[in-house]
Amino acid sequence: MYELGHFIDGKRVAGTSGRTANVFNPATGEVQATVALASDAEIAAAVASAKAAQPKWAAMNPQRRARVFMKFVQLLNENMDPLAEMLSREHGKTIEDAKGDIVRGLEVCEFVIGIPHLAKSEFTEGAGPNIDMYSIRQAVGVGAGITPFNFPAMIPMWMFAPAIACGNAFILKPSERDPSVPLRLAELMIEAGLPEGVLNVINGDKSAVDGLLTHPDIAAISFVGSTPIARYVYGTAAMNGKRAQCFGGAKNHMIIMPDADLDQAANALMGAGYGSAGERCMAISVAVPVGEETANRLVEKLIPMVESLRVGPYTDDKADMGPVVTKEAQARIKSLIDRGVEEGAKLLVDGRNFSLQGYEDGFFVGGCLFDNVTPEMDIYKTEIFGPVLSVVRAKTYEEALDLPMKHEYGNGVAIYTRDGDAARDFASRINIGMVGVNVPIPVPLAYHSFGGWKSSSFGDLNQHGTDSIKFWTRTKTVTSRWPSGIKSGAEFVMPTMK
């Protein structure tokens, strides 16, 4: 058993609220730690520390800010194995998948090493008679990020790397399910040379989130999690005068055209549907084969693959996927599978009774495969966030396209085809933020921006890429003229360039 507190002013501190939450080992079902849940006083201390540290950090030239990230990237690489182990122990995902989680965050840190170039300003010489005009981007001040359990390394780094590189101070409120890695990342940032107070980590639940959303000294909020909370955070942040970018849930479709390489498509569905036990916002949870023959051939290939999935604890280096995060998540997923059976979908592979010798109390769900799912069913409409793939059969390409188009969520989508015309038409017409052509999980790299459409995202600027530089800075435009250029007396008419 270990106890986790907060990270304020450059060091770990114990919680003082008296409220804690349990942190489980999802593979064994045991409570392995407790995490402190912050009080308003602890939030106030973190914000005060950030506010005090920010002006000096923003005044440091961007090359020196970049060097902190150069060192941090080096430290992440040196600490990869212990970080991955720490992450898997609390999340449950396999070690290799945990390394992917860390590396995708590390890549955002590599991207922000370019901050001297990324944050350069615009200048117009001679915008008017003897007038120069320039627009600069300045840090917003203190920002906060609220992150989900499923990527405890990548998503915190999506947020704090650009925020801090731009000269802000940052308060991270990670998921209370797997808080060890975020705390360790903050320690490594200090080791990399970040001044104390620029990055603080506050653990907590709704009360901590509300404390951040209403704090007058916080200028910007970045959120990633489920859609109802994203909607709430966006609204509350806006009501409190803060800029906000909030990313929510998903239901990602993969359309398989009759000309697709079906072995490639089936392999892609396995990785994208069951990797990380389906607990990815970019997981594929709906397969849409076009035409009966495509559907029959695809399902025939998938059944033995899902049946032979290797499910195990993170200590099993041959496991394809681990348990889900909590007992509640396990119960919710199983009840949604029950619901699918009641609704008349055909459960071709049933993972509900999966049990692993020696890990009987772990939060495991075996891989599940549904066929003949229809758009009216709850299992189609709801984000299951577990190892469950639904096949929805479509007669034509237009019918297939219509499914993700009409779905509430718009995070990711993919098409498998050899037909360039179909792929181009799909990418152009689809109303979804991230599109894969023969790529099942089209998560953009760090120098492009990540974000969905529809109920998967609230706000207009995405994570990482150039959007993140815009989100974490605000524009100031300066118009300047020197006394030798001023010719006339008082002017009462609106100045124009007529």
Radius of gyration of the chain (CA): 25
Identity of the residue, 183 or 394, whose beta carbon is nearer to ligand NAD in the bound complex: 183
Window of 149-157, 188-196, 370-378, 471-479 that interacts with ligand NAD by CB under 6 A: 149-157
Q: Work out the number of other CB atoms within 10 angstroms of the CB of residue 126.
A: 9
Let me know: does 389 contact 274? Beta carbons within 8 Å: yes
Let me know: does 390 contact 373? Beta carbons within 8 Å: yes
Identity of the residue, 106 or 146, whose beta carbon is nearer to ligand NAD in the bound complex: 146
150 binds ligand NAD (CB under 6 A): yes
49 binds ligand NAD (CB under 6 A): no
Q: In the bound complex, what is the minimum distance in angstroms from residue 35's beta carbon to ligand NAD?
A: 11
- Expressed in angstroms, the distance from the first to the final Cα of the chain is 74
Distance CA 32, CA 20 (A): 13
Q: Which of 92, 100, 145, 148 binds ligand NAD (CB under 6 A)?
A: 148
DSSP 3-state assignment of 264?
A: helix
226 binds ligand NAD (CB under 6 A): yes
Q: In the bound complex, what is the minimum distance in angstroms from residue 272's beta carbon to ligand NAD?
A: 14
| Cα distances (angstroms) measured from residue 36 to each of 3, 26, 31, 152, 219 | 8, 19, 14, 17, 25
Q: In the bound complex, what is the minimum distance in angstroms from residue 310's beta carbon to ligand NAD?
A: 24
Distance CA 254, CA 128 (A): 54
In what helix (H) or strand (E) does residue 126 lie, and over which residues does it extend? strand 122-128
Q: In the bound complex, what is the minimum distance in angstroms from residue 222's beta carbon to ligand NAD?
A: 11
Q: In the bound complex, what is the minimum distance in angstroms from residue 204's beta carbon to ligand NAD?
A: 7
224 binds ligand NAD (CB under 6 A): yes
Q: In the bound complex, what is the minimum distance in angstroms from residue 428's beta carbon to ligand NAD?
A: 23
Q: Which of 39, 147, 168, 222 binds ligand NAD (CB under 6 A)?
A: 147
Please identify the residue of the shown chain whose CB is closest to the bound ligand NAD.
225
Let me know: does 241 contact 161? Beta carbons within 8 Å: no
Q: Which of the 8 DSSP states describes residue 155?
A: H
- Tell me the two tokens of residue 176: 């209370």
Let me know: does 181 contact 84? Beta carbons within 8 Å: no
411 binds ligand NAD (CB under 6 A): yes
Interacting positions 181-220 with ligand NAD (CB under 6 A): 205-206, 209
Sequence-distant (≥ 6) Cβ neighbours of residue 232 within 8 angstroms:
none
Interacting positions 330-389 with ligand NAD (CB under 6 A): 383, 385
The CB-based long-range contact list for 97-101 (8 Å cut-off, 24+ gap) reads: 97/275, 97/276, 98/153, 98/314, 101/151, 101/152, 101/153, 101/154
Residue among 109, 166, 246, 281 flagged as catalytic:
281
Window of 113-121, 141-149, 307-315, 479-487 that interacts with ligand NAD by CB under 6 A: 141-149
249 binds ligand NAD (CB under 6 A): yes
Give the interface size with ligand NAD as a residue count (CB under 6 A).
27
User: Which amino acid belongs to residue 263?
Assistant: D
Identity of the residue, 10 or 386, whose beta carbon is nearer to ligand NAD in the bound complex: 386
Q: Work out the number of other CB atoms within 10 angstroms of the CB of residue 18.
A: 8
Q: In the bound complex, what is the minimum distance in angstroms from residue 498's beta carbon to ligand NAD?
A: 48
Identity of the residue, 40 or 132, whose beta carbon is nearer to ligand NAD in the bound complex: 40
Q: Based on the residue annotation, tell me whether 281 is a catalytic residue of this protein.
A: yes
- Judged by the rule CB under 6 A, the positions of this chain that interact with ligand NAD are 146-151, 173, 175-176, 205-206, 209, 224-226, 229, 232, 247-250, 281, 383, 385, 411, 452, 456
Active centre residues (catalytic):
281
